[in-house]
């Protein structure tokens, strides 16, 4: 619904009349004048008229408003954070209204289940509740003007006057010594008996296996492996080392069966 | 001045924060009603216009404050500045927090109909709103409330001294006007 030019000559109006002054009216960006196809005047007024359904939001191109504001900012050469913030908030509100309208059909379908009277009652309730806080904000603004500048005593209490809580009665020096003594005592040596002491090293095991290999030319893992599990693992690693260096060939005919180790070349001179 | 009033004067002078009557009584070893009576005498002694400082009841206790007509001189001496004005959005958000605290961000947004994230952040920066733990609801949202600074800057003794919310309800005529506008809108949509 395009608006008549005479409509915009009216002064900006507050939305929900509350009878209490000084709240809710956007102020910082009031100097921002718009020249749109459907509207010519201050931005505040445009928003107000849209919210009062006196201008159809579909007729307003929000991108055009933003572009004009950016040009205005560039021309003015100064950046007013408060004014720009409020502008962004209002523009965001316009965009939200527009996007909601896009979904209006779906929303209406959802609302079909709701009795129109009930829907109106709920909306009225919500508006009434919001208005309470909006009006309180006005009263708080008045209180702020009256009290916020007051200077209360806020000097820190001198350190010497601060209360120090001490235990009742005198504290003997021996009590302090008793309290500190446990901190000075050497802690007991931790018990490491559960940790195995490894008797063989990989180098020693390699040397032993090479000697056996030189003497016998062939042996089985079961025949040379020590009984200790950890030492058997070292023996196994030594076998792998012999295999990877090309000194021995390993054969295992069946899974988990014994491993036959046979010599394939003379032992490496540098090994061991 | 009563001897007890002089002792209370010393306590108020040395304390950096408002002190409640019961604590004053405890410090002086007297009954609370005796302390209250002596406080009355002290307030009369420091009545507005008599001295450069006044005894004020604020934020749950009594404290000295610079007399309003001397504040400008103190500002020139100390360089203390007046707090910035609060925008309508900040005042509105603060009102919701003050009356409904402890309150979550979602609850504030529900009352206001818009997100209050920025406003809450700005109020927190100014020390007017503070986080007061988390709600025992799904998502454990942060709970917001007001503190001593809020009471001081709005000249309140406690939150109970906020004017009743009912005083700010819409009048019957305003409710009727909104109702008729809602009906008019509904009819226009129905056409």
End-to-end CA distance of chain B: 79
A123 to A16, A33, B85: CA distances (angstroms): 14, 33, 32
* Matching residue, tokens 């055009």: A64
| pLDDT value of residue A166 | 58
pLDDT tens over chain A, length 272 residues = 333 333 333 333 333 333 333 333 344 444 577 776 567 777 777 777 777 777 777 777 788 888 888 888 888 777 778 778 888 888 888 888 888 777 766 555 555 566 777 777 788 888 888 889 999 999 999 999 999 999 998 876 666 666 665 555 677 888 888 888 888 888 888 888 777 666 678 888 899 999 998 888 899 999 998 888 888 888 999 999 999 888 899 999 888 889 999 988 655 554 44
Other C-beta atoms within 10 Å of A180: how many?
9
| pLDDT value of residue B9 | 95
Beta-bridge partners for B45: none
Q: Phi, psi (5° rounding) for residue A12?
A: -60, 145
Distance CA B42, CA B7 (A): 10
Q: Report CA torsion sign: A88, A89, A94, A97.
A: positive
Non-local (6+) Cβ contacts of A22 within 8 A are A138, A141, A142
Size of interface A-B (CB pairs under 8 A): 138
* Matching residue, tokens 């008549």: A4
Whether B154 and A130 lie within 8 Å, measured CB to CB: no
Q: Where are the beta strands (DSSP E) in chain A?
A: 33-35, 40-42, 218-220, 248-251, 260-263
pLDDT tens over chain B, length 191 residues = 678 999 999 999 988 889 999 999 999 999 999 999 999 999 999 988 899 999 999 999 999 999 999 999 999 998 888 888 999 999 999 999 999 999 998 899 889 888 888 899 999 999 999 999 888 877 778 899 999 999 999 999 999 999 999 999 888 888 888 888 777 776 776 66
Can you read off the two tokens belonging to residue A260? 């036959």
Q: Which residues of A touch B83 (CB under 8 A)?
A: 144, 148-149
Whether A131 and B179 lie within 8 Å, measured CB to CB: no
Whether B186 and A53 lie within 8 Å, measured CB to CB: no
Q: Is the pTM of this model over 0.80?
A: no
Q: Which residues of B touch A17 (CB under 8 A)?
A: 174, 177
Q: Which residues of A touch B80 (CB under 8 A)?
A: 151
Per-domain boundaries in chain A:
5-102, 202-263
End-to-end CA distance of chain A: 98
Whether B91 and A154 lie within 8 Å, measured CB to CB: no
Distance CA A89, CA A219 (A): 87
| pLDDT value of residue B180 | 82
Q: Which residues of B touch A127 (CB under 8 A)?
A: 178
Q: Please report, for chain B, how many H helices and E strands are present, in that order.
A: 9, 5
Which CATH number applies to B88-168: 1.10.10.10, 1.10.20.10, 3.10.20.340, 3.40.50.720? 1.10.10.10
3-state class (DSSP) for residue A152: strand
Whether B88 and A137 lie within 8 Å, measured CB to CB: yes
Residue of B nearest to A90 (CA): B114
Mutation site for B-interface testing, chosen from A13, A147, A156, A163 by largest number of B Cβ within 10 Å? A147
Can you read off the two tokens belonging to residue A182? 């446990």
Whether B63 and A153 lie within 8 Å, measured CB to CB: yes
Q: Which residues of B touch A120 (CB under 8 A)?
A: 179, 182-183, 186
List the one residue out of A261, A265, A266 whose CA is nearest residue A251: A261
Whether A137 and B163 lie within 8 Å, measured CB to CB: no
Residues 73-102 of chain B whose Cβ lies under 8 A from any Cβ of chain A: 74-75, 80, 82-83, 85-89, 91-92, 94-96, 98-99
Whether B142 has its CB under 8 Å from any CB of chain A: the answer is no
Can you read off the two tokens belonging to residue A127? 């508006």
Angle between helix B117-125 and helix B105-112 axes, rounded to 10 deg: 120
Whether B36 has its CB under 8 Å from any CB of chain A: the answer is no
3-state class (DSSP) for residue B145: strand
| pLDDT value of residue A123 | 82
List the one residue out of A142, A167, A183, A201 whose CA is nearest residue A21: A142
Distance CA A271, CA A5 (A): 103
Q: Do A240 and A232 contact (CB within 8 A), yes or no?
A: no
Whether A153 and B15 lie within 8 Å, measured CB to CB: yes
Residue count (chain A): 272
Can you read off the two tokens belonging to residue B116? 């209050």
Residue count (chain B): 191
Q: Which residues of B touch A116 (CB under 8 A)?
A: 186
Whether B64 has its CB under 8 Å from any CB of chain A: the answer is yes
Q: Which helix (H) or strand (E) holds A121?
A: helix A116-147
Residue of A nearest to B92 (CA): A137
Per-domain boundaries in chain B:
3-78, 88-168
Residue of A nearest to B94 (CA): A137
Beta-bridge partners for B104: B143
Whether A133 and B186 lie within 8 Å, measured CB to CB: no
List the one residue out of B153, B112, B113 whose CA is nearest residue B129: B153
- Class at the top of the CATH hierarchy for domain B3-78: mainly alpha
Residue of A nearest to B13 (CA): A153
| pLDDT value of residue A228 | 82
- Angle CA B181–B182–B188, to nearest 5: 90
List the one residue out of A263, A255, A267 whose CA is nearest residue A219: A263
Distance CA A91, CA A232 (A): 79
Q: Report CA torsion sign: A180, A181, A186, A190.
A: negative
Give yes or no on whether B3-78 and B88-168 have one common fold. Answer: yes
| pLDDT value of residue B40 | 94
User: Looking at the domain that runs over A202-263, which CATH code has it been given?
Assistant: 1.10.10.580
| pLDDT value of residue A176 | 85
């Amino acid at each position: 619904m395009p608006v008549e030019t005479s409509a915009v000559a009216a002064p900006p109006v507050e939305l929900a009349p509350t009878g209490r002054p000084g709240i809710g009216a956007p102020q910082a960006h009031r100097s921002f004048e718009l020249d749109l196809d459907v509207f010519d005047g201050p931005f505040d007024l445009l928003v107000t008229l849209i919210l009062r359904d006196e201008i159809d939001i579909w007729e307003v191109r929000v991108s055009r408003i933003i572009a004009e504001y950016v040009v205005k900012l560039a021309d003015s050469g100064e950046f007013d954070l408060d004014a720009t913030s409020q502008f962004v908030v209002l523009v965001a509100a316009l965009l939200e209204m527009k996007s909601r309208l896009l979904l209006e059909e779906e929303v209406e379908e959802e609302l079909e289940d709701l009795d129109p009277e009930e829907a109106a009652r709920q909306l009225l309730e919500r508006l009434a509740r919001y208005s309470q806080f909006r009006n309180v904000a006005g009263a708080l603004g008045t209180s702020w003007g009256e009290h916020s500048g007051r200077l209360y005593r806020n000097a820190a209490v001198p350190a010497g006057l601060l209360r120090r809580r001490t235990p009742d009665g005198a504290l003997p020096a021996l009590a302090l010594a008793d309290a500190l003594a446990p901190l000075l005592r050497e802690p007991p040596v931790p018990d490491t008996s559960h940790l195995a002491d490894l008797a063989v090293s990989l180098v020693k095991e390699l040397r032993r296996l090479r000697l056996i290999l030189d003497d016998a030319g062939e042996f089985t893992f079961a025949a040379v492996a020590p009984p200790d599990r950890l030492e058997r693992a070292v023996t196994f690693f030594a076998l792998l080392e012999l295999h990877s260096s090309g000194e021995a060939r390993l054969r295992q005919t069946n899974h988990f069966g014994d491993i036959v180790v046979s010599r394939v070349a003379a032992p490496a001179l540098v090994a061991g | 001045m009563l001897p007890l009033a002089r002792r209370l004067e010393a306590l108020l002078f040395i304390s950096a924060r408002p002190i409640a009557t019961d604590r004053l009584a405890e410090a002086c070893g007297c009954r609370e009603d005796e302390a209250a009576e002596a406080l009355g005498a002290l307030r009369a002694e420091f009545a507005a216009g008599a001295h450069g400082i006044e005894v004020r009841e604020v934020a749950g206790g009594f404290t000295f404050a610079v007399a309003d007509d001397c504040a400008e001189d103190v500002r020139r001496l100390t360089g203390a500045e007046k707090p910035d004005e609060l925008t309508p959005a900040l005042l509105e958000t603060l009102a919701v927090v003050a009356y409904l605290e402890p309150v979550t961000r979602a609850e504030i947004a529900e009352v206001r109909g818009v997100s209050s994230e920025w406003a809450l952040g700005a109020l927190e920066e100014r020390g007017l709103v503070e986080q007061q733990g988390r709600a025992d609801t799904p998502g454990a949202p942060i709970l917001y409330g007001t503190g001593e600074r809020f009471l001081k800057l709005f000249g309140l003794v406690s939150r109970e001294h906020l004017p009743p919310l009912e005083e700010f309800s819409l009048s019957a005529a305003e409710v009727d006007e909104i109702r008729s506008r809602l009906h008019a809108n509904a009819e226009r949509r129905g056409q």
